[in-house]
Structure 1
Amino acid sequence: MSGALAAGRRNMDLFGVSLIAFLTALGGGTVRDILLGHYPVGWTQHPQYIYVTIGAGLCAMLLARFMHHLRQLFLVLDAVGLIAFTVIGCNVALELNYSQPVVVMAGLITGIFGGILRDILCNRTPQVLRHELYASVSLLIALLYLALRERGVDHDINLLASFSAGLLLRLSAIRFGWSLPVFSYAPGRWGH
């Protein structure tokens, strides 16, 4: 739905809205699968994902005028999605026996890359790299999930702990405006 709304802000047609919605939802997993050599790509084996993502995008078009009333719910669902996709990405890489740094990157890519694709195609600097903690939440959750797994923590408890920590961190970042320091470089400002 965030992809559809971004496409709407750029006055895209029905096809553009559908494409951006699809790429936002499934782009991270697609990029992860390609980079890890994990074939066939996940959504190609589950065509219902196509219907759900495009359907949600089209639904967003119908609900756009009410979205400001749903903002809080939308932010919570987005945070849950970020955490879920991060953990799913880690698990795909673990199943393929990749090393821990690759597992972390697979989780991060799965969690944030759909949003990066959305913003690039909508001609914006990727939001996940600019505002409140977002990409860093994905990174921290991947690290936490792996650390608990390495210590033999029960899978269900690990999921609960990772989801709880991720949700608390992301929602706190939104509420309190937490972000990483910003690097701002202007040529000439430093004498070069």
Structure 2
Amino acid sequence: METAQLLFICYIIAIVAEAMTAALAAGRREMDWVGVYLLGCITALGGGSVRDVLLGRYPLTWVEHPHYLLITGFAALFTILIARYMHHLRHVFLFLDAVGLVVFTVIGCNIAMGMNMPVIIIIASGMITGCMGGVLRDVLCADVPLLFRAELYATVSIVTGLLYVTGEWLGLPHDAVMIGAMIFGLALRLMAIRFSWGMPKFVYTKTLH
């Protein structure tokens, strides 16, 4: 199987997983089925959409490939039918979410590199693609976005992007660099979940006199 084909399969798995986790968030907020459908699409495709708008890249991914709206929307609705069993699949979805993070990151970096963007924009493009869908989900559900908590999430995306860009800059084989960066990022994310690794918190308490 070619690397590009493998990346595409991972992308489809990732957007389905993101849509299904978004459906659970919608259920916790008691949204109707339309809300579940829309939140699933926004979460799964929002990161790429924000990236494309910021980079001036058109048409947007879901406009160019409308079937992504059907895939993610129906994945979200399917979650309603199996919601009672979802707690048994928690670890599976944590793994798939981690896969989605690194896959989206590499795809975002690839797109920015193809547009000959500076390194910092390439890294930012990867992070936006990987994290912004979850931010949109959390904002719409009135939660503090995972991106802004101490948990290692955006950091994993940044590290994955840096490894990928560095390998490309060194002229290493593209497929090896891409797979290596994703494996390292995936391992880092899973270890962060397992051992509760996080970034230092800023705690400010104002004392009134």
TM-score by length of 2: 0.88
Superposed displacement of residue 128, structure 1: 2.8
Residues 28-177 of structure 1: matches in 2 within 5 Å?
28-177=47-196
In structure 1, stretches of 5+ residues that fail to align are none
Superposed displacement of residue 187, structure 1: 2.5
Which residue matches 1:24? Answer: 43
- Does residue 180 (structure 1) correspond to residue 195 (structure 2)? The answer is no
2:147 & 2:95 partners in 1: Cα distance?
15
Helix, strand or coil at the partner of 1:67: helix
What amino acid is the match of 2:119? Answer: Q
What amino acid is the match of 1:105? Answer: A
1:131 & 1:23 partners in 2: Cα distance?
24
What amino acid is the match of 1:132? Answer: E
2:66 & 2:188 partners in 1: Cα distance?
33
Superposed displacement of residue 27, structure 1: 0.4
Which residue matches 2:4? Answer: none
Superposed displacement of residue 15, structure 1: 0.8
Runs of 4+ in 1 over 2 A off after TM superposition: 186-189
Superposed displacement of residue 110, structure 1: 0.3
Q: Residues 41-83 of structure 1, C-alpha deviation per residue, up to 9 Å, x if partnerless?
A: 1110101100111011111111211111111111111111000
Percent identical pairs in the alignment equals 51
Question: Is the 8 Å Cα contact of residues 49 and 60 (structure 2) preserved in structure 1?
Answer: yes
Aligned length, in residue pairs: 190
Question: Is the 8 Å Cα contact of residues 106 and 182 (structure 2) preserved in structure 1?
Answer: no
Helix, strand or coil at the partner of 1:80: helix
TM-score by length of 1: 0.96
In structure 2, stretches of 5+ residues that fail to align are 1-19
What amino acid is the match of 1:102? Answer: I
Q: Residues 3-34 of structure 1, C-alpha deviation per residue, up to 9 Å, x if partnerless?
A: 11111100000111111111100000000000
